[in-house]
Amino acid sequence: MGCHLGTLMVTSPTGRGVPVLDFLAVDHQAETTEAILEFFKRQNNSWTQIETVVIDKDFTEWKVLLKCFPHAEVLLCQFHVYAYWKKLVKNDSMPRKQSMVMPS
């Protein structure tokens, strides 16, 4: 089908994650993400209370979040960063110089 399934979650006062918006997006472009976030803001007057947003490694999403929630801090999820680096190292797709490889 080619759609992207997404969820916006908030942390409740008890520390639990609570989904506040599930969506299907036709693509993962900045304009689409911005339209989804603007819809969320129109439906939720309390969006101005958002202080922090945690994302995976999607830097396009990061830019859109900074634009849509200018007073919120955007943080990278440590789990996703670690998983991404682990994948890069496993696939040996990181460019290296010969001087970086230790002799056996």
pLDDT at 3 over 80: yes
**Whole-number percent of the chain with pLDDT over 90:** 39
pLDDT number for residue 22: 95
Pairing of strands 17-25, 73-76: unpaired
Q: What is the DSSP string of 19-85?
A: EEEEEEES---HHHHHHHHHHHHHH-GGGGG--EEEE-S-HHHHHHHHHH-TTSEEEE-HHHHHHHH
Give the residue, 20 or 57, on which the prediction is more confident.
20
Rounded to two decimals, the pTM is 0.72
pLDDT number for residue 43: 96
pLDDT at 98 over 80: no
Which tens digits make up the pLDDT trace of 76-96? 888 888 888 888 888 775 566
Among positive and negative, which fits the CA dihedral 62, 67, 68, 71?
Answer: positive
